[in-house]
Structure 1
Amino acid sequence: MTLLLAGDIGGTKTILRLVESGENSALKTLYEESYRSGDFPDLVPIVQKFLAAANSSTPAKACFAIAGPVVNNTAKLTNLAWFLDTARLCQQLNIPAVSLINDFAAVGYGIFGLTKQDLLTLQTGKHQSDAPMAVIGAGTGLGQGFLIKQGHQYQVFPSEGGHADFAPRNELEFQLLKYLLNRHDIQRVSVERVVSGLGITSIYQFLRDRQIDSENPEIAQIIRTWEQEAGRAEKTADPGAAIGSAALAKSDRLSEQTIQLFIEIYGAEAGNLALKLLPYGGLYIAGGIAPKILPLMEDGSFMLNFTQKGRMRSLLEEIPVHIILNQQVGLIGAALSAARL
């Protein structure tokens, strides 16, 4: 039995999980706790507090999934003034082996710890056991990554594909591109600016300003509050969530149109990733947004836009496509990655 420590480290919260690795690489959760990241000056005191609360001995291995790039075993969190270094963490925590991985790479590893109940299949396709796998996930941003089989195991590779250019395909999407360029006075629009929580709000503003439909007063107030809080570190309004909920409830036509356009562009971008990798091992949709609008993701428009690639349509129809329902997939992946150290 090996004691492992897994962490999902974000600018807002840090989740730690103590895991026991047994025979056949089975993982058993012993203790888990969540902390407000901003309440601590560094990761070390959080881990120390966690292990004391768990009444645990020192883990043999640890892996922390970081919301930001990991370069040469170091990481600076995107929205937090922490600088993490594996050598320092090993020394100060007295853990023999410590690894830092990108949070989306952790999602990739986490796929192998999921059950059938953790997935919703949008397209069965024709699974190939040795083929590449791909992960895409809209949430705060747009994560993308891929997995390649090396020997008996898959190696996970993070990507910054979410920062590639947004590629409009029709007149409405071209108008959206022009709107975003003008509104933000920028030279280019990344796909992440459209396919993300922020993107949902941007699409809503675009449709609102084009006077596609009248606004729901409640949604309008949430949007105004959010616009007034621009630049603040913490906001009291979450328009993306409100728009998604209204679309699901069919209580606001403008919100319905917003989510419809969001899903179409999301499906098209997932298809772009699939064309580049041909992930016949499966394309997995992660992130916090898809599970919250699940019925709308299932209605067919996502997959229609995923496969709408001209002569390549038949290839994309053979790729298995799954939505990850388990929101702790990154924590699962960090534990599995720790076990491999």
Structure 2
Amino acid sequence: MTLLLAGDIGGTKTILRLVETSDSPSSDPIYQESFHSGDFPDLVPIVQKFLVKANTSLPQKACFAIAGPIVKNTAKLTNLAWFLDTERLEQELGIPQISLINDFAAVGYGILGLQKQDLLTLQVGKSQPEAPIAIIGAGTGLGQGFLIKQGNYYQVFSSEGGHTDFAPRNEIEFQLLKYLLNKHDIQRISVERVVSGMGIVSIYQFLRDRKIAHESPDIAQIVRTWEQQAGQEEKIDAGAVIGTAALEKRDRLCEQTLQLFIEAYGAEAGNLALKLLPYGGLYVAGGIAPKILPLMQDSSFLLNFTQKGRMRRLLEEIPVYIILNPQVGLIGAALRAAGL
């Protein structure tokens, strides 16, 4: 048996998990713990503390999923003054083999370890086992990636597709684009500025400022507090508050916000699907979709996913799933570590 260390490394939180190769990567870990990343100067002391608390032998292999690009086995975290290098990590931790991968690449590997109960089917489609698999996931940002079958294995690719241009399709989306350009005084708007947690708040602000619907006092106070905390590390999650209010149908402005968000989300998922034709499945990852499942299951996501003119019939044959397991990235990091 080989002891593996898997990690999900973010600017706010670092989650570490120990598993054995004899176990299913999605089974209960030997030990798992979460740490506040900002309390440590580097990843090394977190791992050292974790291994002491785990009270086990040193792992033979490790894989860490990083929220950002990996360049020549190195990674610089966006929200932390951490610079990670696999060679340095191997030397300082005494782990013979360490890999750094993009967090969405980890989700890609994780898909291969999911069980039936970890998925909700939005569209059955007509699955083709040899075809590409696509991943899209709105959370703090908007991640995108894909898998290509290579013999008996899949090769996993991350991308920066969330930073492509937001493409408005109707009058209200054109107004949203103009609003965001003026608000931020910039030359372009990425799709991530609309389809993400911050995008939910941006859509709310747009609809509020255009007085498209009445703003309730309790939500207004939360959003105002969020706006005043701009640039601070610890902030109210206004996007989650807006999503919950929409889900509970207790605030019309929040409901309209989520409607526009889900329409844009479905449209961007359809754009990704047109580029890859992922008849192996399109998987919706990220932290937002599982929290608003009833709204995602509403027809608007799939309607905008398939609303691509003459290409509609092609997209109606692509299986679409929502990933329900929040540990998919850790599962993927463990699978990648096992393959080192």
Instruction: Tell me the TM-score normalised to structure 2 length.
Output: 0.98
Q: Deviations over 1:199-255 (max 9, x none)?
A: 0000000001111111010100011111111122222x2210110000011000000
**Residue 18 (structure 1) aligns with:** 18
For residues 55 and 285 of structure 2, what CA distance do their matches in structure 1 show?
Answer: 33
**Residue 239 (structure 1) aligns with:** 238
Mapped contact 1:164–1:190 kept (Cα < 8 A): yes
Mapped contact 2:138–2:196 kept (Cα < 8 A): yes
TM-aligned CA deviation for residue 90 of structure 1: 0.7
For residues 228 and 171 of structure 2, what CA distance do their matches in structure 1 show?
Answer: 30
**Residue 334 (structure 1) aligns with:** 333
Mapped contact 2:163–2:191 kept (Cα < 8 A): yes
In 2 relative to 1, CA 245–26 (structure 1 residues): closer, same or farther, beyond 3 Å? Answer: closer
**Letter matched to residue 34 of structure 2:** S
**Letter matched to residue 275 of structure 2:** K
**Letter matched to residue 161 of structure 1:** G
Mapped contact 1:20–1:28 kept (Cα < 8 A): no
Mapped contact 2:8–2:64 kept (Cα < 8 A): yes
Q: Which runs of 5+ in 2 are unaligned?
A: none
**Residue 70 (structure 1) aligns with:** 70
TM-aligned CA deviation for residue 171 of structure 1: 0.5
Mapped contact 1:4–1:18 kept (Cα < 8 A): yes
Tell me whether 1:95 sits opposite 2:98 in the alignment.
no
TM-aligned CA deviation for residue 28 of structure 1: 5.8
TM-aligned CA deviation for residue 112 of structure 1: 1.1
Secondary structure at the aligned position of 2:192 is classed as helix
Tell me whether 1:2 sits opposite 2:2 in the alignment.
yes
For residues 7 and 156 of structure 1, what CA distance do their matches in structure 2 show?
Answer: 18
Percent identity reads 79
Secondary structure at the aligned position of 2:100 is classed as strand
CA RMSD of aligned residues (A): 1.1
Tell me whether 1:147 sits opposite 2:147 in the alignment.
yes
**Letter matched to residue 338 of structure 1:** A
**Residue 315 (structure 1) aligns with:** 314
Secondary structure at the aligned position of 1:264 is classed as helix
Instruction: Tell me the TM-score normalised to structure 1 length.
Output: 0.98
**Residue 85 (structure 2) aligns with:** 85
**Residue 263 (structure 2) aligns with:** 264
For residues 334 and 243 of structure 2, what CA distance do their matches in structure 1 show?
Answer: 32
In 2 relative to 1, CA 117–26 (structure 1 residues): closer, same or farther, beyond 3 Å? Answer: closer
For residues 242 and 233 of structure 1, what CA distance do their matches in structure 2 show?
Answer: 18
Tell me whether 1:163 sits opposite 2:176 in the alignment.
no
Tell me whether 1:52 sits opposite 2:43 in the alignment.
no
Secondary structure at the aligned position of 1:154 is classed as strand
For residues 36 and 238 of structure 1, what CA distance do their matches in structure 2 show?
Answer: 17
**Residue 105 (structure 1) aligns with:** 105
**Residue 138 (structure 1) aligns with:** 138
TM-aligned CA deviation for residue 68 of structure 1: 1.1
Mapped contact 2:203–2:257 kept (Cα < 8 A): yes
For residues 109 and 208 of structure 2, what CA distance do their matches in structure 1 show?
Answer: 40
In 2 relative to 1, CA 27–86 (structure 1 residues): closer, same or farther, beyond 3 Å? Answer: farther
**Letter matched to residue 183 of structure 2:** R
For residues 105 and 163 of structure 1, what CA distance do their matches in structure 2 show?
Answer: 16
Tell me whether 1:189 sits opposite 2:200 in the alignment.
no
**Residue 200 (structure 1) aligns with:** 200
**Letter matched to residue 197 of structure 1:** G
